[in-house]
């Protein structure tokens, strides 16, 4: 499966506006067997922008592709320099009410699973360990040569040792730039040129964040796990995703084809809206907190 940098798409015409009625969501959760598919919109209230919302990051930058990262040493240097600064904001981010509500619903046994398209780890930080990270995690680093997996914190220490004073020198300039969903910030080329990358500590190979870049394959076994979860669910609840890329949309299509009800809670239109049995357009943190309260949890 490949994700591509889809920057624009046309909303489905002729659909009624999204509702503010949470009752169908509450009813589905009360019945149990709900599978959650979450996207970047779930983390916006934690200070991490989404890609395509009103203040989405695609309005100011184009995310790096897998082909660019693997084929261009300068692109890798630029990514790691920007990521080294941007991750400070990412690590300061904390779970919001939406993340905590999903963890509460899972703890109450109402969910069969959670698939997240997010790479920020905030759902796990809210106390839910059993999460399928469809697009990986920024908290891990993988070697493209030997496959060694390491914690991003370990790489952070190595990069700081290789670039003493780098973050201090650029932090004022970077502070004016918002962190992107993929964990980096805008930096001038002259700052990037001063940054030194480091190789894999095991084999000396090329390091990459353990996330699925645009243009990269989602591991087949991960896709198979998600398909199984969709096939076993009584309903699918989409939270904060425009479903623009096929990696998430295909699971909504799978559910709809099997007559499994799809409920969408998202601010703004989405590519899967025509497949939804019910759509709600409310801020996720408050809406999900209200759902939890109505369920008496």
- Catalytic site residues? 135
The closest alpha carbon to 235, from 37, 98, 93, 45, belongs to 37
Return the HEC string of 130-166: CCEECCEEEEEEEECCCCCEEEHHHHHHHHHHHCCCH
Exposure letters 132-148 (e unless 16+ CB within 10 A, then b): bbbbbbbbbbbbeeeee
Task: Determine the 3-state secondary structure of 211 from DSSP.
Answer: strand
Q: Burial level of 18, CB count in 10 A (0-12/13-18/19+)?
A: buried
Query: Which residues, in sequence order, are bridge partners of residue 36?
Result: 114, 237
Q: β-strand 111-116 against 278-280: which pairing, if any?
A: unpaired
Backbone angles phi, psi at 50, to 5 degrees: -85, -175
The rounded distance, in Å, linking the Cα atoms of 248 and 129 is 20
């Amino acid at each position: 499966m490949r994700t591509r940098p889809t920057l624009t798409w046309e909303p489905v015409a002729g659909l009624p506006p999204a509702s503010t009625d949470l009752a169908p969501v509450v009813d589905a959760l009360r019945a149990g067997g709900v599978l959650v598919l979450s996207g970047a919109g779930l983390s916006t209230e934690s200070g991490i922008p989404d890609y395509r919302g009103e203040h989405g990051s695609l309005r100011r930058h184009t995310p790096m592709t897998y082909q660019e990262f693997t084929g261009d040493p300068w692109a890798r240097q630029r990514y790691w320099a920007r990521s080294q600064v941007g991750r400070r904001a990412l690590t300061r981010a904390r779970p919001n009410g939406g993340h905590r509500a999903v963890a509460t619903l899972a703890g109450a046994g109402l969910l069969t699973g959670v698939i997240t398209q997010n790479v920020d780890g905030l759902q796990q930080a809210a106390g839910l360990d059993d999460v399928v990270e469809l697009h990986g995690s920024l908290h891990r680093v993988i070697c493209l040569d030997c496959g060694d997996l390491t914690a991003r914190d370990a790489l952070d220490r190595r990069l700081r040792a290789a670039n003493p004073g780098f973050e201090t020198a650029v932090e004022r300039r970077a502070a004016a730039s918002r962190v992107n969903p993929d964990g980096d910030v805008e930096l001038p080329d002259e700052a990037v040129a001063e940054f030194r990358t480091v190789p894999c500590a095991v084999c000396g190979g090329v390091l990459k964040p353990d996330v699925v870049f645009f243009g990269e394959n989602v591991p087949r076994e991960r896709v198979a796990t998600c398909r199984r979860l969709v096939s076993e669910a009584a309903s699918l609840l989409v939270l904060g995703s425009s479903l623009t890329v096929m990696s998430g949309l295909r699971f909504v299509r799978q559910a709809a084809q099997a007559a499994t009800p799809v409920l969408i809670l998202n601010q703004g239109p989405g590519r899967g809206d025509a497949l939804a049995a019910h759509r709600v357009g409310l801020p996720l943190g408050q809406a999900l907190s209200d759902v939890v309260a109505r369920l008496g949890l």
